[in-house]
Amino acid sequence: MPAQDGISMAEALLKELSSVRVLALTNLKDPFTINRLREVGIHGYVEKDQPLDILEDAMRTVARGEHYFTAIVHQVSSQLARDPVAFSKILSRREQDVIRLVVAGWTSKEIARKLKLHPRSIETHRYRIMKKLELKNVVDLIAYADKHGLRREDS
């Protein structure tokens, strides 16, 4: 999806069409993705490597108006809830987006264009991220992102 990622599309759909039901089918299992999908309000999540009968069960469950999340979602959500310094508790959603793009190698101008912000706003976000996380340089930021699932190949 060249214009936006699947999470952004799900968020837009859920805002525009309150009756729509969203089931995420993805290869992404990192804490950032799972946290964002839960924040957006999707109704179900299945990894692409799950057996077909799991996907069929999830589709039926979500279509009935219920929720369906595989074990990894519950595991990651529980870990984030227990961790007092989880990225989701320290960084705002915008800061999470910025860190993901910074570690993907994007410049502040490129990030500003993508997020429809002024480049100075991006610089402010970068400064606050480094200060909140007590990091000294981009190498430390990349290590933090890798450890917490904030580094994705499809950024």
Reported as a single tens digit per residue, the pLDDT across 12-64 is: 999 999 899 999 999 888 888 898 899 899 999 999 999 999 999 999 999 99
State whether 59 and 114 are in the same domain: no
Domain total in the chain: 2
> Could you tell me which of 33, 43, 22 has the C-alpha nearest to residue 77?
33
Query: What is the token pair recorded at 152?
Result: 């994705």
Tens digit of each residue's pLDDT (9 = 90 or more) over 55-114: 999 999 999 999 999 999 999 999 889 988 888 889 998 999 899 899 888 999 999 999
* Amino acid letter, residue 63: A
Predicted confidence at residue 14, as pLDDT, reads: 93
Residue 61, domain CATH? 3.40.50.2300
- Whole-prediction pTM value? 0.74
Query: What is the token pair recorded at 24?
Result: 């995420």
State whether 26 and 74 are in the same domain: yes
Tens digit of each residue's pLDDT (9 = 90 or more) over 102-154: 988 899 999 999 999 999 999 999 999 999 999 999 899 988 888 877 765 44
State whether 68 and 106 are in the same domain: no
Domain ranges, residue 76: 6-82
Q: For residue 5, report the phi and psi dihedrals to the nearest 5 degrees.
A: -85, 175
